[in-house]
Structure 1
């Protein structure tokens, strides 16, 4: 027997079962059937739009040989918190067919209304009455041994005997070993064909379909809404619209009122949050990527929200599916969170409506400037691994901050300082073009007499050297004049380093060696904000290897004995590459291969490759192929092709 009743928006269970709704959920359905067969309390949990109700209703109706004789469904669809006892009254209505005389009833009335025999009580969408549901289910399980309960909600009930099936986003990756499309893509195509019988997805459309699913983070409800838009937009047009925003997605045939649009689906959870949680949700929406708990406290506290309340609000938002815990939750590092894209768009709307967006954005600017300053300090004082991890963690917000500042002159100096302090990120980790673009856009917005602009000019020249040498020379001229006037030896020396890079590209190795030596002799030891003298000394060795092997070996040894080189991991890699390159260029290929291999083995795994690692791997490949050394200087952002090498002594493969 199946009995169904619900709250204000109740619909019969059959209304949620339509073609295609189980696409990509077969494994979840099998897991739910197994849980229902073996346990008395099962909760299907997940954030808005994951298809909890559909999956649970379909599975509950399809398990005809389950350990129950009756199925009673109660769907609560109220828009906000209800009065105490309202859920129990709705359950009594489902059990007896008669509405109780009072609006609220107790557990005893529910127990009396249960039919004889084994019963599955299906409580659907209980978020508005979550607290009452906990007490009701706990008393029912203790009072009636034959009753089993299936619950759908954004968060579990938290009872001891509860088994939880958490629904996550549909995968956008094709199954291992082939055998079909990604579940998210399959759902999109299925719903698009249901909305428009003439819809045909050509092979060329599939990358755009995959991008749509990625932008929607694999949320089934959002994917279905997007698929229904194919009657008005091509898949490419749809992907373009979704890159800008996704809250506009709507459904012409919503099963539930809150599913009329993606914005309403997200907002249904917002109205259930306490005031402080709503405020933290809105303020945290300014983060473009994952953020730390401490950063959230700095940005979200203020007004009616005290700093001590923010961690608890983050935990509640995580339980509701608004935030996702990332990294190693419960580990030794500070907790980190990421807001889902739909929730971030909704929160930003609330933040702007409250007139707080500007304040939150300015706090993010302050945070990002501090992050860049700390990262540069770590890099310059031997903590290069920590500097890399810090920028990796914060890179989304750093980019967002720079883009935000580009449209606001009052923050252009903050953005320029941030980009300049991240010099190592652009150069050492092969992101030269991104850093160059930021600098060229920010430089006209800043005062030409600012000492920071001098450093920015030098860095822009270095980042331009590999792709636009003419622009690099113009920028170098401006940087050199300003540095000389200011007596800035570090920048003067680093200008010489870039001149050496340009000379190498022109295959003038002798001029390059002179420029690099000038840089090594001019930059003060331990000077922050750019490559150390050891890096320039290693570059001298690489340039000399083209014409003077004896001097090249001497320069390579000097690079490894420069002050501070042991604490400078990148300088050490560049210097070791120089020694290996010199050895290979002059016939000691086996020794060169071993040097390169040992250096690569010493690098910490799990982090982005430093530029020197790529150069070492290329050198090893050249040795193994018997090719004379092709220059790929890891002390500068050179073009991928490197500098053609002159004929050298015959190479020999490593033994």
Structure 2
């Protein structure tokens, strides 16, 4: 009998997994014969949920655990190895950060789930190939909108859910019923509303995320009205005629959700797109819709949560509730923000908020607040990276990056990310236009 794994961080799913029995069976079988299985498909088709369900089904086969690394919030491919090291609790501050990762994986029999690889294709392909070359018992389950191109990669295209099933309710309709009943207890598909629910699922082409968003609106509209609104061609074409049909379908239902929001909720949603790695109510207050009255955005966050536009991140160790935008929602909101006149201002507010957080180390490091300072800074690591990247790619802002890197030195040291800190410092020095400083002396001064 295979030993029960004692390690790993496979999350507990808060909602049930609907359908895809054949997909689960086939994917589990493939993981037994291939080292790299890549689930591919359009955004919102359910790649992540399928990957987690597959991982849960095979976890007993991996005594060293199932480990899930979410890559959507990592925007710098050069930090992928350090991110993996950090996830496994390994040091990553040596000149060769891959060495401790290779040593850790070499004798392990574990499953590594890499979610949302598409924006880091080159980095993922290289690092995955290196990991597989040194760890014969390693299995990798990746999700991506495009293939990774690694030798030996097994592709698994993820299709939308079925709508009809020999007269019975198809997977898409079952998903709609379950999510709608969560929003409105007692909701069931009946003879009276079945045709409308079927029309909804057909119009949304069986895309799970789009169906879940439509189902969440059952508190406001009945199935017949939802179906009628989805027939509005101005919604269906919201994503533009040049985009693939399923991309347009998902964008149309997200756009519909956007129209259901109040003007302030829309603004907050757009401005939340600048966060990486999620946000708390406090950080959202500090970045979104600043007001002299101190009104804050809690009301808007509650409204967006109720409409399923943001989701809560479950973390039993966090002292503050943490939230995030699902990646398709973030991309939609980011497009809206980037087309507005507010984009630069919002990104500057985001940078300045985390600049202030970085400077807290001056007072909090090695003080009674040390533990809380480290916990808070570590939870915002992705946002700190985003703030540094903004400063280094925006003319005239490199000085802020220099200041942040220097202030974060205690954090880089204590968190085992000294190499990453040094890399940021080198980039910052290269961007500082100060002809009287030589690069080595500036690096020493920051570092």
- SS of residue in 1 equivalent to 2:193: helix
Task: Find the structure with the greater CA-based Rg.
Answer: 1
Residues 185 and 213, structure 1, Cα contact 8 Å, conserved in 2: yes
Structure 1 SS opposite 2:156: strand
2:256 is equivalent to residue 248 of structure 1: yes
SS at structure 1 position matched to 2:141: strand
Tell me if the contact between 1:43 and 1:164 (Cα under 8 Å) persists in the aligned partners.
Answer: yes
> What does residue range 428-507 of structure 1 map to in structure 2 within 5 Å?
none
- Superposed counterparts of 1:573-612, under 5 Å: none
Change in Cα spacing, 1:37 to 1:24, as seen in structure 2 (3 Å) is same
Change (3 A) 1:108 1:101: closer
Query: 1:109 corresponds to which residue?
Result: 100
- For 1:138 and 1:31, the matched residues in 2 are separated by 24
1:68 Cα offset (Å):
5.3
Of 77, 80, 93, the match for 2:86: 93
2:188 is paired with a residue whose SS is coil
Judged with a 3 Å threshold, the aligned counterparts in structure 2 of structure 1 residues 164 and 181 are, in CA distance, closer, same or farther, namely same
- Matched-pair contact (CA < 8 Å) for 2:108–2:135: no
Residue equivalent to 2:58: 63
Aligned: 1:125 with 2:116 = yes
SS in 2 for 1:152: strand
Which residue number corresponds to residue 137 of structure 1? Answer: 128
Relative distance call for 1:44 and 1:145 in structure 2 (3 A) is same
Aligned residues: 253
2:229 counterpart of 1:234? no
Partner of residue 3, structure 1:
8
CA 1:42–1:94 in structure 2 vs 1: closer, same or farther (change >3 Å)? same
- SS in structure 1 of the partner of residue 148 of structure 2: coil
TM-score, normalization by structure 2: 0.52
Q: What are the residue-to-residue correspondences of 1:152-301 with 2, within 5 Å? A: 152-173=143-164, 175-176=165-166, 178=167, 180-244=168-232, 245=235, 246=253, 247-249=255-257, 250-251=307-308, 254=311, 257-259=324-326, 263-264=329-330
Structure 1 residue matching 2:132: 3-state secondary structure? helix
Unmatched segments (≥5 aa) in structure 1? 5-11, 272-655
Partners of 1:230 and 1:213 lie apart in 2 by: 14
- Structure 1 residues 210 and 18 mapped into 2: Cα distance closer, same or farther (>3 Å)? same
Which structure ranks higher in relative contact order (CA pairs < 8 Å, sequence separation ≥ 6)?
A: 2
Unmatched 5+ stretches in structure 2: 1-5, 236-252, 258-306, 313-322, 338-447
Say which SS state the counterpart of residue 164 (structure 1) adopts.
strand
Give secondary structure in 1 for the equivalent of 2:197.
helix
Partner SS for 1:13 = coil
Match of 1:75 in 2: 70
Q: TM-score, normalised to structure 1's length?
A: 0.36
* Distance of 2:114 and 2:20 partners within structure 1: 20
Change (3 A) 1:259 1:87: same
**Superimposed CA distance per residue, residues 263-303 of structure 1 (whole angstroms, 9 cap, x where no aligned partner):** 545577999xxxxxxxxxxxxxxxxxxxxxxxxxxxxxxxx
CA RMSD for the aligned pairs? 2.8
CA apart distance, 1:136: 0.5
- Deviation for aligned residue 1:111: 0.4
